[in-house]
Structure formats: C-alpha cells, structure tokens
Amino acid sequence: MSCIETSHLSKSYGSVFAVDSLELSVQSGQVFGFLGPNGAGKSTTIKLLTTLIQPTSGSMSILGIDAAKNPLQIRHKIGVVLQQPSYEPTLSVEKSLDKYGMMWNVPRNERKKRVEQLLFDFDLKEIRKKRNEDLSIGQRRRVQVAREFMHDMDLLFLDEPTVGLDPKARRNLLDYLKSKVKTGLTIFYTTHILSEAEYLCDKVAIIDKGKIVTVDTPDALKSKFGNKKTIKIHLNDERKETVSLLSNIEDCKIDFNNGTDIVIHSEKPGYVLLQILKILNDEAIEIEDLSAVPTNLEEIFLRMVSQNAPDHQISK
C-alpha cells in the first residue's frame, strides 16, 4: 500500500524553490531515506508532508488522505520529530514523556507502562528525574525522539534524529526503529549520514536543490553507480609523477588526489591493485597505507550531488 504520494509538490520562499516539483511515492512498512546536503530541502519536505506548512503548488496524499482537504485527520495518524530541539526546560525526563502521552489522550495506565518501556529502550532510566534543561544535547535528543513513541501512529517522520548521539546511542536508536518497522510502522527518515541510510533504509531518495536526483534501494544505487570498489592509497612522500603513472592503468579512475592521498574507483579492482603495486614498486615510491573497499553510499551521494551542480567540488 502507498503511504505517501506527492504530485508536483513545491514550496518557494521568494525566488528560491526549497522544494521543486517533488514526485514521491513511499510504500507502507518500509524506511524511506531522504538524503541531501545542507539546504537541499529535506526539512521543508518534512514540514510539507506533515501539513505544518502549506505548499506553494502541487498536491499530496498521506496514508490515503488528501492533505489539502483533511490535514487534521493526517496529523492524528502520524508522528514527527523535527530537526529543531523542542522541550520544556523545567520538566523532568519522565514527566516530559508522560505529558506528551497526555497530549495524545493516552490513558493513564497505558502512559505509565509506555514511559517505563521508553525509559528502558532509550537508556534514560538513570536520568529519569533530571530536568530537560540539565541534560546533555544527545540526552535531550533521545528524549525528544522517545516521547514520539508515547502514542500510536502509522507513519513517523524523523528529521536527522541521530544528530548529537554517540555511536552506541545511535546504533541503539537505529535498531529500535528497525524493530518498530517490523511491527508495521512506516518511517520517513532524513540524514546526511549515509552509512545510517545504508543500515536502516529500504529505499533512498537523494535530493539536491529541492529536486530529487535519484530514488532506489541502497544496493541498486551501488550497482547502478557501477564502480565496484574504491581504492585508497596513502603515500609517505609526494612524488609528482605518481598520478600520471597511475592514470595510465586501464579502468583506474582517479577521484581524488592531494599528492599523498589518492582515491581511485575501479570495476576491476584486482587487476588495478596489482598494476598500482607494480608501478609503485618499480618507481620505489613508498606506500604508507593501501585499501580496497566496496564503494559506499557516501561516494555515490557526493558524485550525484556534484553531477547535479558542476560548481560543487568533491572534497575528501
């Protein structure tokens, strides 16, 4: 079943199109990743889809409901964690969760149960009595995400929920989200941390300057991109001739080079690696480090965004 459908959805601010004729189709029961650089239009899209702002033009249907006709009906069925921090400074962690449940008319007994479960799931037990204003940034973010699970919903929008979280809390949250998707929740998830999208998302849309550049599964994106492996070389010393020697190797696409660090994409990494080692050995160029890894989403993303905007420089 389709959960989100948009048609020519646009939002402009003055002459800037923050979202430009967006055509989205998100199926139920999956995590849909929405990736893009700063200012790409991710948060604006979330605000449109959650009916918090009005589109300049275009239409959308959320959970089968026409957003122009029944925005309130949509809001009752969705959850949203916006990018901006939102909390009541003097409330304790447990009271924040409880109050959020009250706002959603969750019965008292059920609230009590959910608060305990979420304190446990989000590792907040030790700080349950602390006031929001006294929490660290990551702790506060965890509370902000946790409280959204005080109520039932069919569709959840998360705008960069892991910003400020340490690696353990981050993984914990991603696994928690995965478990919720298994029970039928659909998640629309923005991030620019691509390894997260790879770990979590069933489908990924890359957006830049308000337009979708591509939509696919993380795996299909990798194979569509073609370059199977990324070879990274770190040399002890800068030698001017290195790059021109390496660029003569067949299927050896040099993507980055600053003299000592060289990044290469290749579809024949075994052959290319042997040739690189041979050349560096013949020329007595010392290698500090050499690795070959499957091309990840990060590289695909940088490439696509840079193709979309020729003035955008790829940096390492």
Question: Is residue 141 a contact residue for ligand ATP (CB under 6 A)?
Answer: no
> Stretches 29-37, 42-50, 221-229, 265-273: which one binds Mg ion (CB under 5 A)?
42-50
Quick one: which of 4, 6, 9, 43 contacts Mg ion (CB under 5 A)?
Answer: 43
Binder of residue 44, out of ligand ATP, Mg ion, none (CB less than 5 to 8 A by kind): ligand ATP
Using CB atoms within 10 A of its CB, is residue 192 exposed (0-12), middle (13-18) or buried (19+)? middle
Q: How many residues bind ligand ATP (CB under 6 A)?
A: 12
Binder of residue 16, out of ligand ATP, Mg ion, none (CB less than 5 to 8 A by kind): ligand ATP
Which string of x and - marks every residue 1-20 that binds ligand ATP (by CB under 6 A)? ------------x--x-x--
CA 162 to chain centre: 9
Q: Nearest approach, Cβ of 159 to Mg ion (angstroms)?
A: 6
Give me 295's structure tokens.
């091309």
CA angle 169, 77, 40 (to 5 degrees): 60
Q: Nearest approach, Cβ of 56 to ligand ATP (angstroms)?
A: 12
**From CA 80, how far away is CA 137, in angstroms rounded?**
19
Kindly tell me the sign of the dihedral angle through the C-alpha atoms of 64, 66, 72, 73: negative
Binder of residue 315, out of Mg ion, ligand ATP, none (CB less than 5 to 8 A by kind): none
Binder of residue 55, out of Mg ion, ligand ATP, none (CB less than 5 to 8 A by kind): none
Tell me the three-class secondary structure of 29-55, residue by residue: CCEEEEECCCCCCHHHHHHHHCCCCCC
Q: Nearest approach, Cβ of 44 to Mg ion (angstroms)?
A: 8
> Stretches 31-39, 179-187, 198-206, 220-228: which one binds ligand ATP (CB under 6 A)?
31-39
Question: Is residue 83 a contact residue for Mg ion (CB under 5 A)?
Answer: yes
Question: Is residue 144 a contact residue for Mg ion (CB under 5 A)?
Answer: no
> DSSP H helical segments within the chain, as ranges?
42-49, 71-75, 93-103, 108-121, 137-148, 167-182, 194-200, 218-225, 241-247, 269-282, 297-308
> Stretches 40-48, 126-134, 230-238, 303-311: which one binds ligand ATP (CB under 6 A)?
40-48
Consecutive H or E run containing 66: strand 65-66
Question: Is residue 81 a contact residue for ligand ATP (CB under 6 A)?
Answer: no
Question: Is residue 40 a contact residue for ligand ATP (CB under 6 A)?
Answer: yes
DSSP 8-state code for residue 20: E
Using CB atoms within 10 A of its CB, is residue 248 exposed (0-12), middle (13-18) or buried (19+)? exposed
Binding site for ligand ATP (CB under 6 A): 13, 16, 18, 36, 38-44, 83
